[in-house]
Chain A
């Protein structure tokens, strides 16, 4: 049975399942939309243009933004140096907040405020986290994370996830750790198009092995399988 599993495939025939059923004629506008749903692109754009409107950043006071920047500085690694990193992470998080449950978004702001005042309520002096050096602030957050009081520890875990997820999504950071998915994905999109066109995958289309160790493991397994089949 044909299904809409390939790009531009033919409309799905209706199965007969009883006299009372009157299959609807294929809807041309629906068929066009169905084709669009499955069509691929090599653009892999960070900001794809598919008609969807992205929400404006969640409103935050200037003071809370400053507190947020202090938390970001405390959590991100010192290297690599990334231009405007605090603003980019802050903007990304604030753009995600409108999609969160209202209580969660409000709770996140409360966490930022509580962490900013952490040096005061942890007895580390009359200053806020934003005023500490990144190293000292980082050490304080590490100490808080190890707290036996669950909600205190949870605050750091939550803030860390919110900050480090967009941090590791930055192009500069991805390049630093050797993660470059776009060329790989473009190559795979082209490979699938070739497969859909009826071609077979070649040796160059295989993924890995990327180390002598894994290559040897695969070779041993193949030899063992061959030996068992021979026996």
Chain B
């Protein structure tokens, strides 16, 4: 038996494996596949459920509670608060993300090499790993038949203004542009962990314990040797069954919020006090544009291209069309006004201004099993958001848009650039900007010394032998690009080093 659900724990509550991997997303799937294919007995622990490709559909009614952490109601506290989306299902956030497949830039990796004193994390060391990961997830540019009018407008608009617009590499194999990325790809074209790394691990004999929330690590003799978790009754979400898994090593890949949450509960990360700190999130702001002609942006791939003209300022623009339900929920009006805009849904483009972090936040443990994440954008970030919104608005009006909905409370509607220019850092307050994020990173940073980092260059916690991290928490600094490929490359690195160690130990024992 490879897949376990709540009902299965009634007869089997104790498991044994070589390695436990907590999480099945970009990091967990990649590290688990490496370990399983190396010949190790791997058990995945996944808080969410198992939902195969055949179950994906365009409706939020069941998809959101199935696929999203906390049914999509998660937020980072700060001024402003920033809602974030995270997957909670087999495949993790890769099931609901846009699938961008960018490598971390060389200048970032050069910094990582200095911080870790390990050339494996530098540009030359990471390049072959990136190449392998890109092959795993089939990272490539879209086929022409997957591209819709919204992306044409963005790309041609950038060209018209003389801005650099690049076609994105995406984790996709023959994507046909259903634009259902946020609710799971029903064609199997997007190469999420569900259809790329997890099947590899399953074929190699891994087991996956779903509907199982890891509550604490088992530590014996100062070494991490297992996980205790609970599986709630699926109907009541109460009456938990306690499940225990023992192993030689535990890899935590629960994402940049829940990885530190779990480890802080173990009182780990003490030497540096860095655990939970250094939180990064690439916040972005949406600009909704209405055109006087049909665009049908829900047909065609999301984020075919990115406007990278202002990359040096840490500002990117991308199209990111969403279904009517999040669009209606995000609109700053209700009642008749809301419907008046949504009746123009077929003429609407949703675009985003993505800003590279210039500050960090932190994650702490809150009450009732709830992590508390705090992040405040800086004045510099706010300035860049305002600048980015101005430039993106210029693109839309140049392409014929007749109205924009801007991401500032109280100043939402712009019918011309004159309206947009009224929005400045002096006329709107920083806390009035409406932000959003899906990129959560950097809370258990890699490093060369225990005084300044949480894990060593092998991904092992400095103060908890046998416990490894393999997700976006590892990032020592911001990457400034979509993080999936970098997460997977780091996870592959951690997985290989761990496999060498465990198999070497096994060979010596034999």
Interface residues of A in 108-135 (CB under 8 A from B): 134
**Chain A's nearest CB lies how many Å from the CB of B431?**
7
B178 proximal to A (CB < 8 A): yes
B466 proximal to A (CB < 8 A): no
A205 proximal to B (CB < 8 A): yes
Q: Which residue of A lies closest to B69 (CB)?
A: A99
Chain B residues with CB below 8 A from A47, complex form: 61-62
Give Cα A101–Cα B367 distance, bound, in whole angstroms: 10
**Chain A's nearest CB lies how many Å from the CB of B65?**
4
**Chain B's nearest CB lies how many Å from the CB of A70?**
14
Assess whether B156 is in contact with A217, with CB atoms less than 8 Å apart: yes
Chain B residues with CB below 8 A from A83, complex form: none
Assess whether A211 is in contact with B499, with CB atoms less than 8 Å apart: no
Contacting residue for B180 out of A56, A95, A168, A181, CB 8 A:
A181
A230 proximal to B (CB < 8 A): no
Q: A24-B36, A166-B325 are in contact. Are A192 and B174 (CB under 8 A)?
A: yes
B314 proximal to A (CB < 8 A): no
Assess whether B52 is in contact with A164, with CB atoms less than 8 Å apart: no
Contacting residue for B148 out of A7, A38, A208, CB 8 A:
A208
Chain A residues with CB below 8 A from B153, complex form: 214, 217
Interface residues of B in 51-89 (CB under 8 A from A): 51-62, 64-66, 70-71, 73
Assess whether B186 is in contact with A100, with CB atoms less than 8 Å apart: no
Chain B residues with CB below 8 A from A179, complex form: 298, 323-324, 345-346
Give Cα A177–Cα B345 distance, bound, in whole angstroms: 7
Q: Which residue of B lies closest to A139 (CB)?
A: B335
**Chain A's nearest CB lies how many Å from the CB of B34?**
9
Q: Which residue of A lies closest to B146 (CB)?
A: A207
Interface residues of A in 170-228 (CB under 8 A from B): 173-174, 176-179, 181-182, 184-185, 188-189, 191-192, 195-196, 201, 205-214, 217-218, 221
What is the interface residue range for chain A against chain B?
Answer: 35 or more
Contacting residue for A40 out of B6, B146, B186, B326, CB 8 A:
B186
Q: A207-B300, A211-B293 are in contact. Are A77 and B324 (CB under 8 A)?
A: no
Could you tell me which B residues sit within 8 Å of A by CB distance? 1-3, 5-6, 36-39, 49-62, 64-66, 70-71, 73, 90, 135-136, 138, 143-149, 152-153, 156, 159, 173-178, 180, 186-189, 191, 194-196, 198-206, 234-237, 291, 293-296, 298-300, 323-336, 338-339, 342-343, 345-346, 366-370, 399-400, 409-410, 431, 496, 499-500, 503-504, 506-507
Could you tell me which A residues sit within 8 Å of B by CB distance? 1, 3-7, 11-12, 14-15, 17-18, 20-27, 29-31, 33-41, 43-48, 50-56, 74-79, 92, 95-104, 134, 138, 141-142, 145-146, 150, 153, 160-169, 173-174, 176-179, 181-182, 184-185, 188-189, 191-192, 195-196, 201, 205-214, 217-218, 221
9 closest Cβ pairs, A-B complex = A34-B199, A77-B339, A4-B199, A41-B54, A211-B293, A168-B328, A53-B234, A48-B55, A27-B205
